[in-house]
Structure 1
Amino acid sequence: MAVVFENEKEKFEFLPDIMVCCSSQKFEGLKYKGIPLLIVEILSYATQHRDRGLKLYVYEKFGVKEYWIVDIANECIEVYSNNINGKYMTYNNYTKGMTIKTINNITILVDDVFGVVK
């Protein structure tokens, strides 16, 4: 499923690995034309520059509340959050043994994420 970010000057369309969308009215076929609450990208060698560059810029600018980059090779999760006026105010890097508290205070153990991957 694609997500479309658009304003009067720009249009971006991505296929995130995971996204949480809460407005069913913003789906147009297989595209979501709204701002997801959370986007998760699984980092790979081929996508790392795009995930940490263009996608980070677009997600931040258009107001995605949380953006996670899951780095399987280094077993860490980068979490960009607290998006205020198109800028992430908080960045945290979570590794084994740590707990991530997400939107709505849901907790996820980093060990559980990487326990499924391997």
Structure 2
Amino acid sequence: MAAALALMLLALTGLRGELAAAGPVAEASATKRVEINHFAFHPPTLTIARGTTVKFANASQVTHTATAGGVFNSGHIGPGMSISIRFNQVGSFSYHCMIHPLMHGKIIVQ
């Protein structure tokens, strides 16, 4: 039992981008994409099911972030790079780019 628990903890610590305020883990139903381009998030509002992973993909020529206060922070996403975040908590999460504060979007988790 202890070995199984240790393996589970090791697996969980390797999941980059896991939503910190997650609660019980639900199985991911899909992966959705938010493209960052022309100093905007596309789509600006995305509605997903609980447990869905959202891939933030930077298609622009400059670095951006996707940051929602203390809920999630992508860190810097360079040109051509992406980061995936799994949303396990139901709610509405407004986010912005810390580098370009006029860029903002919203993830609605149902």
Same fold (TM over 0.5): no
**TM-score (norm. length: structure 2):** 0.27
Q: Which has the higher contact order (CA 8 A, sep 6+)?
A: 2
The structure with the greater share of residues assigned to helix is 1
**TM-score (norm. length: structure 1):** 0.26
